[in-house]
Amino acid sequence: MIRFFAGHPTIANLLMVGFLLAGLVVAPSLLRETFPRAAQNEVEITVPYPGARPEDVETSICERIENALDAVTGIDRQSCEAREGLARSVVRMREGEDYQAFVAEVKSEIDAITDLPARAETARVRALGQTDFVASVAVTGPERRTDLKDLAEETRTRMLAWGGIPKVDIRGFSTRELHIGLRLEALQQFGVSVDDVARLVQSGSVDLPAGDIATSTETLLIRIAEERRTVDDLASLVVRSSSAGGQVQLGDIATITERFASDDDVITFDGRPAAVLDISKTRAEDALTIVDELKAFIEAERQRGPPGVMMEITTDAASA
């Protein structure tokens, strides 16, 4: 073979050109990655429990998850993190087991749990490693965190509608809460008790976890962890009505504010409060193409966005 090509150099050159052309044709379809893919061996379980304290999440959610997973074969190790309003468990598969069967068994056992608290949301089971991180974008602008969260949600919606950016998650915020500060003088004026307000709020399908009523000389605080409610919704709740048609609404006897449960998740960028949008992709999508679309989106947002709103790519795993 070597003697043949040595005697016919033109054929060797033509073959080389053919290989180069074939490479150029195939190159656009190749998936471009910066880091090698890790083996799939973990499953994530999350259970939102709005308004619950970490210790309540531990006893009411994490312990039940751990008991359910005792029946799963092939577990190498497991952990459960109890946070404000959320339980997150990660289960690692023992080497040599079938991953798809492992995920299915974990999901089956978690779905069989019947004694979660009534306020707890449905458990979500997700196979880790199905998506890859691509980039992070910091968004700054409003100083109030509630306004910043709204801006982040709107930006996420526009980003997904842009096309070419498949998955976006928001970081930098804990559970959104509504706080009701009861004015004692107003309670006395209208003859309303704290128990009256608590029953009203609970009957309105708003979570009131035990231990969340705090007292002071001026104000009684009831913490409400319910994102579907707004300040106006709560303010319009009727506390008391008369036969003559008069009404006392919650807004007449309380100051209602919106805030977040914890400052532990607060993120700053260049000294300003920031929301972070994490972009990820499936295994079939190209990371560099997504980053190109992301840069185009950010440039378009800079052209249309209001003054003071800034977006900056802080992490780019595709180009690292």
* Mean pLDDT over the full length of the chain: 81
pLDDT of residue 319: 72
Q: For the chain, give the percent of residues with pLDDT over 90.
A: 36
**Whether pLDDT at 164 is above 70:** yes
pLDDT exceeds cutoff 60 at 289: yes
Instruction: For the beta carbon of residue 287, count every other beta carbon within 10 angstroms.
Output: 23
Mean pLDDT along residues 217-234: 59
Sequence-distant (≥ 6) Cβ neighbours of residue 169 within 8 angstroms: 277, 278, 280
Mean pLDDT of the 10-23 span: 68
Please give the pLDDT value at position 187.
Answer: 85
- pLDDT tens per residue, range 81-123: 988 788 999 999 998 899 889 999 999 999 999 999 988 888 9
Residue with tokens 């039940």: 64
Among the residue ranges 62-66, 71-75, 191-195, 290-294, the one predicted with the least confidence is 191-195
Q: What is the pLDDT of residue 9?
A: 66
Complete DSSP assignment for 212-276: -EEE-SSEEEEEE--TT--HHHHHT-EEEE-TTS-EEEHHHHEEEEEEES-STT-EEETTEEEEE
Q: Is residue 33 pLDDT above 90, yes or no?
A: no
Q: Distance between CA atoms of 64 and 307, rounded to whole angstroms? A: 49
Question: Taking 70 as the threshold, does the pLDDT of residue 125 lie above it?
Answer: yes
Cβ–Cβ under 8 Å, residues 57 and 19: no
Q: Round to whole Å and give the CA distance between 57 and 52.
A: 6
**30 band by pLDDT with thresholds 50, 70 and 90:** low
Kindly compute the dihedral angle of the four CA atoms of residues 8, 10, 13, 17, in this order, to the nearest 10 degrees. -130
DSSP-derived 3-state class of residue 80 = strand
**Is the pLDDT assigned to residue 186 strictly greater than 90?**
no
Does the structure show a pLDDT above 90 at 174?
A: no
What is residue 165's predicted lDDT score, i.e. its pLDDT?
A: 93
Reported confidence tier of residue 35, pLDDT bands at 50, 70, 90 = very low
What confidence tier does 311 reach under pLDDT thresholds 50, 70, 90? very high
Residue 157, classified by CB atoms within 10 Å of its CB into exposed (0-12), middle (13-18) or buried (19+), is exposed
pLDDT band at 306 (very low <50, low <70, confident <90, very high): confident
Confidence of residue 177 (pLDDT cuts 50, 70, 90): confident
β-bridge pairing 219-224 and 213-215: antiparallel
Domains in the chain (CATH in brackets) are 42-127 (3.30.70.1430), 131-174+265-316 (3.30.70.1320), 176-260 (3.30.2090.10)
For range 44-69, the mean pLDDT: 90
